[in-house]
């Protein structure tokens, strides 16, 4: 009886570790897509419109662009860009 409980506990523990690892990988991938512009880039903003977004330039620096529509891409602040894209590597 003790052996069966021990095996069940080990299986549950392994499942929990697998779920945590998978969740971590998914969050990492989602965070990294924010770092770069989409294929073809973000459309530039016209005069007096748009908003600034920060993107990863290479692997160690971030740059800022004024874009009109780029939902899901770029970060709002330079600090966010460094936290998510540069120091997260």
Mean of pLDDT values over 56-62: 89
Q: pLDDT averaged over the chain?
A: 80
Structure confidence by residue, pLDDT tens digits, 12-51: 888 766 665 665 555 555 555 688 888 888 988 887 778 8
3-state secondary structure the chain: CHHHHHHHHHHHHHHHHHHHHHHHHHHHHHHHHCCCCCCCCCCECCCCCCEEEEEEECCCEEEEEEECCCCCCCECCHHHHHHHHHCCC
Q: Report domain extents, the chain.
A: 2-86
- Does 3 have pLDDT greater than 70? yes
- Does 71 have pLDDT greater than 70? yes
pLDDT confidence of residue 23? 57
């Amino acid at each position: 009886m003790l052996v069966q409980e021990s095996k069940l506990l080990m299986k549950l523990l392994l499942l929990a570790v697998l779920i945590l690892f998978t969740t971590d990988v998914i969050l990492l991938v989602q965070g990294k897509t924010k770092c770069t512009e989409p294929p073809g880039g973000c459309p530039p903003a016209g005069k007096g419109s748009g908003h600034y977004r920060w993107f990863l330039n290479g692997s160690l620096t971030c740059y800022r662009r004024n874009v009109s529509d780029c939902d899901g891409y770029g970060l709002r602040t330079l600090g966010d860009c460094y936290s998510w894209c540069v120091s997260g590597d």
